[in-house]
Amino acid sequence: MRKIANAVRPGLARVVTVTKPQVKRLTQAAGPRLARIGQVVGTRSGDPARTPRPRTLRTWQYTAGAATAGLALAAGAVTVAGPWDANGQRTAERDRAAAEGRTGGADHGSATAVGEPAPAPSAGSVLTGLGTATNAVKSAPSGEPAGISGTAVTDLLGPLLDASALGGTRTAVVVDVATGRRLYDAGADTALTPASTTKIATAVSALSALGPDHRITTRVALEPGTREAVLIGGGDPTLTARAKADGWASLRTLAARTATSLTARGIRQVTLSYDTTLYSGPDLHPIGVNDNLARVSPLMADEGRTDGSFSGPVARVSDPAADAARKFAGFLTAAGIKTSSPGTSKASGRAETLATVTSPPLSAIVERMLTNSDNDIAEALARQTALAGGGPASFAGGADAIRARLSALGLPMTGASFHDGSGLDRDDRLTANLLTALLVKAADADRAGLRPVLTGLPVAGFTGTLSTRYTDGAAGVVRAKTGTLTGVNTLAGTVVDKDGRLLAFAFLAADTTSPLDAQEALDRTATALAGL
């Protein structure tokens, strides 16, 4: 069991130390699985009979919830997101699989190497209430309809959402995932700027259009009767030129395969071209040149980043496609194939494929997008969604495709307006009603292909854009997509309450004046849900 404990991030140790007196009560409520993990980490606890639950939520309750969440992460109650291994599987899942000797789970379509453990389940643990053995989501208790004064949720959230830090306009919805019943409603159908919570809609649309096993191909083709080799962009936003590919499609591997294929044909020198005609329309987002997003191209390596980063804002190359083509030419030369300086072209229908590389499954790409709030992936997936429906792969085409897919799923589209896939466009509009409906749809047992929308959400206090948040409350219990633009702060995701029920929530605030204060106010509100 030691590997299980090691799979949990170091923050767990801090949380357990602070919350020793309350862990036993929360652990027993979570079930035998958490109790076993509590023994592993050596947790000491007090007498639950002497620890009555106050009517007012306090810091120790939040912290105790964080400890339970950390234990739940280790046991699989929620999936610990972290670095992806060579198969696109989170390393924490792999380690837990080895420790428990379990088989099956979301392997994203990748074969397991001989002698290696099979990947651990991921989707089920997100939907299962703490300590339960089935994949059924526990329902919230019945009660008065949302909005009636005196209900627990209204009494709890009303004052928190009235915080001045949340600006002049704020909307919120809380839904019981098991039943779809709305527990709280404040401006549910008021459309506001969603910022990066737009990526939830993009993820649902792409998975619905293409399926979680879809892979994106980058290929090289040889024009017949010539020595022109064309590098054809397929729209893979995760293509990498790094020496260590970590399971993503490798430009170096593509060059090696191309060199082998050319050598077999007796060709040692080529005219190198690159084809970016898959996409249409402007490649520059309406926000202009920005460290949060490269020019959108079907051919790019490492998102055109100018440093070794994998996520977050950083200066980008001015022409991602040309940059990728130059790197590819260098790899070909190193493999013994001389090339011309690469130029633009369009591969003909008669061109013969020399080599290909494919991305990990879409499920893994969606998880990476949501965990890191990756704008480059979001815009690529919007275009892939458009292509799946026969539309133009452009900003407008992607936006139209997202709306069409969500409408086909029967989701509430009142007031919704899409202009991109990332949420960087301030003209985007979504409602709290739509955001929670998207999350509930992703939890639908009949829509298992949408599950990466839930498993990809950042885990509070542990991963992605929430890794440094919730350090003193609800760590591991809240999983949510963040959104921030000037004057806009949003948060949408899921939370496991103290009885192990799964709730979906969406909070949107406009006209905020302090991003940090607004962020903290939203975090307090989500944390409060964990104490219900």
For 104-141, write each residue's pLDDT tens digit: 333 334 444 444 333 333 334 455 433 333 445 555 55
Do 81 and 125 touch, CB atoms closer than 8 A?
Answer: no
Distance CA 130, CA 24 (A): 14
242 pLDDT exceeds 60? yes
Grouping H, G, I as helix, E, B as strand and the rest as coil, residue 232 is strand
What DSSP line would sit under 455-483, residue for residue? HTSPBTTTSGGGTTS-TTS-TTTEEEEEE
Which is more confidently placed, 508 or 142?
508
Distance CA 123, CA 76 (A): 10
pLDDT tens-digit readout, 420-431:
999 999 999 999
Active-site residue, from 297, 373, 422, 467 = 373
Determine how many CB atoms are found less than 10 A away from the CB of residue 226. Answer: 11
Q: Which residues pair with 338 in a beta bridge?
A: 269
Active-site residue, from 45, 122, 125, 196 = 196
Half-sphere exposure of 80 (CA within 13 A, CB side): 29
Active-site residue, from 199, 441, 481, 498 = 199
Q: Percent of the chain beyond pLDDT 90?
A: 68
Catalytic residue list contains 373? yes
pLDDT at 66: 41
| Helix spans in 50-187 (H) | 59-75, 91-100, 123-127, 152-161
pTM for the whole thing?
0.78
Catalytic residue list contains 327? no
Output phi, psi for 206, to 5 deg: -65, -45
510 pLDDT exceeds 80? yes
Mean predicted confidence (pLDDT) in 269-298:
98
Q: Do the strands 269-275 and 217-222 form a parallel or antiparallel pair, or are they unpaired?
A: unpaired
